[in-house]
Amino acid sequence: MLVERDSLASGSTSKSAGGIRAQFADELNIRIALRSLLEFEAMAEEVSFVQDGYLFLLDREEDVASFREAVALQQSLGVPSQVLSPDEARQLVPQLVVDDLLAATFCPRDGTATPESVVQWYARESGARIVQSCAVAAIDVRDGIVCAVETTRERIATGCVVCCAGAWSSEVAALAGVTLPVEGIPRSMWFTPQDGGLPEHLPLTIDFSSGFYFHREGPGLAFGGRDEDVFEAAARRLPVLADLPLQTSWWGYYDVSPDWNALVGEAAEVSRFLYATGFSGHGFQQAPAVGEHVAELVVGKTPTLDLSPFSATRFAEGGARPEAFVV
Ligand SMILES: Cc1cc2nc3c(=O)[nH]c(=O)nc-3n(C[C@H](O)[C@H](O)[C@H](O)COP(=O)(O)OP(=O)(O)OC[C@H]3O[C@@H](n4cnc5c(N)ncnc54)[C@H](O)[C@@H]3O)c2cc1C
């Protein structure tokens, strides 16, 4: 049973850029991506999954070194990523300014999908009972064991709870006396009604040092960045963008953990209080593999992927596990 205080996908998921990539630095994130890609590829048509690739643009020596290392790791795991020269990057996106670039990386299996469609796909396929407009108000824990969830509509007797409340997960966890270090950090996106003549098959392109990124969105472009003042970096890297009108914008929360990697597992304080949150900008794309993992934890099956390194206990144990390639 899934309870959602608003409507399905109304949280960060509907604000996401919909990016899906295997180009990570952390091996576990690459494995999660490979597992999730199989699912996205299977539902591709229904969720508009377009595999035009991810293109990372690199203008700092230290980034070139870490991306080269990561591409070697990705390739060893079966990811078809590669290091490109600046000129090769411009062949993919001719409107880019590449004079100051040192290198780029590209993976043709990466792409974008429509997050709300993915949520609807799971809602339909899961067979779960879904109750919208229903907020979790309290979690009844006795002797360290979950007994029930009090919602604004009904009391649900249960011996197992999964906290997947995104940027609001720390508040929901606190209802059970569990500490989850998740913080909501706002991120904005802007949309143009035209594409400025960019290629039909446009990779999701990320200017890694500034954080400016863009991808195709219908007849126009979507773009965003780490800061509100992304416009200067955008105009420098993709001058054509500065000539396009803005149609709309939105913002949403990144659900950020202290090391910018997911929090997945069972609470140390309360038995059968499971959590999947803190995805820090890559939570939409990790949903298939992480969702499968949580389902396995619920029914006590041996996990397909060992995600125990993502336990929230890692911070107390001095084992932070940073993901380097975050935007
Ligand atoms: C601008 C932007 C761009 C992004 N781009 C990408 C991207 O390209 N690729 C990617 O993988 N990720 C991206 N992300 C991150 C991604 O959106 C999130 O990591 C992901 O959507 C988290 O999903 P979730 O289901 O855990 O949380 P959410 O989608 O936030 O869902 C949590 C839900 O919990 C509900 N809730 C909260 N409290 C309660 C309560 N008390 N009772 C009941 N329900 C409750 C909320 O209403 C919400 O619907 C982006 C995020 C932003 C903001």
Q: What is the pLDDT of residues 194-203, one digit of tens each?
A: 999 999 999 9
Ligand 1 neighbours, Cβ below 6 Å, are 3-6, 10-13, 15-19, 135-136, 164-168, 172, 187, 189, 224, 252-255, 277, 279, 281-285
pLDDT for 229 equals 87
In the chain, count of helices (H) and strands (E)? 8, 18
Average pLDDT over residues 21-46: 98
Task: Write the residue with the smallest CA distance to atom 2 of ligand 1.
Answer: 16
- Decide if pLDDT at 31 tops 90: yes
pLDDT for 88 equals 98
Strands 161-163 and 155-157, by their bridges, are unpaired
- Decide if pLDDT at 189 tops 90: yes
200 phi, psi to nearest 5 deg? -60, -45
In this structure, what token pair is assigned to residue 54?
């991810």
pLDDT for 62 equals 98
Strands 136-142 and 145-151, by their bridges, are antiparallel
- Decide if pLDDT at 244 tops 90: yes
What spacing in Å lies between the alpha carbon of 12 and ligand 1's midpoint?
3
- Decide if pLDDT at 323 tops 90: yes
What spacing in Å lies between the alpha carbon of 189 and ligand 1's midpoint?
15
In this structure, what token pair is assigned to residue 170?
């720390």
Atom from ligand 1 closest to the CA of residue 255: 19
pLDDT for 227 equals 84
What spacing in Å lies between the alpha carbon of 166 and ligand 1's midpoint?
5
Average pLDDT over residues 106-132: 97
Atom from ligand 1 closest to the CA of residue 284: 11
pLDDT for 240 equals 98
How far apart (Å, rounded) are the C-alpha atoms in residues 192 and 187? Answer: 17
What spacing in Å lies between the alpha carbon of 150 and ligand 1's midpoint?
22
Task: Write the residue with the smallest CA distance to atom 36 of ligand 1.
Answer: 165
What spacing in Å lies between the alpha carbon of 250 and ligand 1's midpoint?
14
Task: Write the residue with the smallest CA distance to atom 15 of ligand 1.
Answer: 281
- Decide if pLDDT at 164 tops 90: yes
Collapsed DSSP state (helix, strand, coil) of residue 91: helix
How far apart (Å, rounded) are the C-alpha atoms in residues 172 and 176? Answer: 7
Indicate the pLDDT class of residue 228, thresholds 50, 70 and 90: confident
Atom from ligand 1 closest to the CA of residue 252: 53
Task: State the average pLDDT for the chain.
Answer: 97
In this structure, what token pair is assigned to residue 174?
């606190």
pLDDT for 307 equals 97
In this structure, what token pair is assigned to residue 185?
């950090």
**Looking at beta carbons, which pairs linking 195-198 to residues 24 or more positions away fall under 8 Å?**
195/219, 195/220, 195/221, 196/95, 196/221, 196/240, 196/241, 196/243, 196/244, 197/95, 197/240, 198/93, 198/95, 198/240
**Looking at beta carbons, which pairs linking 71-77 to residues 24 or more positions away fall under 8 Å?**
71/23, 71/105, 73/25, 73/27, 73/30, 74/22, 74/23, 74/24, 74/30, 74/107, 77/27, 77/30, 77/31, 77/34
Task: Write the residue with the smallest CA distance to atom 26 of ligand 1.
Answer: 166
What spacing in Å lies between the alpha carbon of 35 and ligand 1's midpoint?
20
Q: Calculate what percentage of the chain has a pLDDT beyond 70.
A: 100
Total number of residues shown for the chain: 327
Atom from ligand 1 closest to the CA of residue 134: 43
Q: Which of 12, 182, 263 to mutate to test the pocket of ligand 1 (most atoms within 8 A of CB)?
A: 12
Average pLDDT over residues 292-315: 96
**pTM of this prediction?**
0.97
pLDDT tens by residue, 2-12: 999 999 999 99
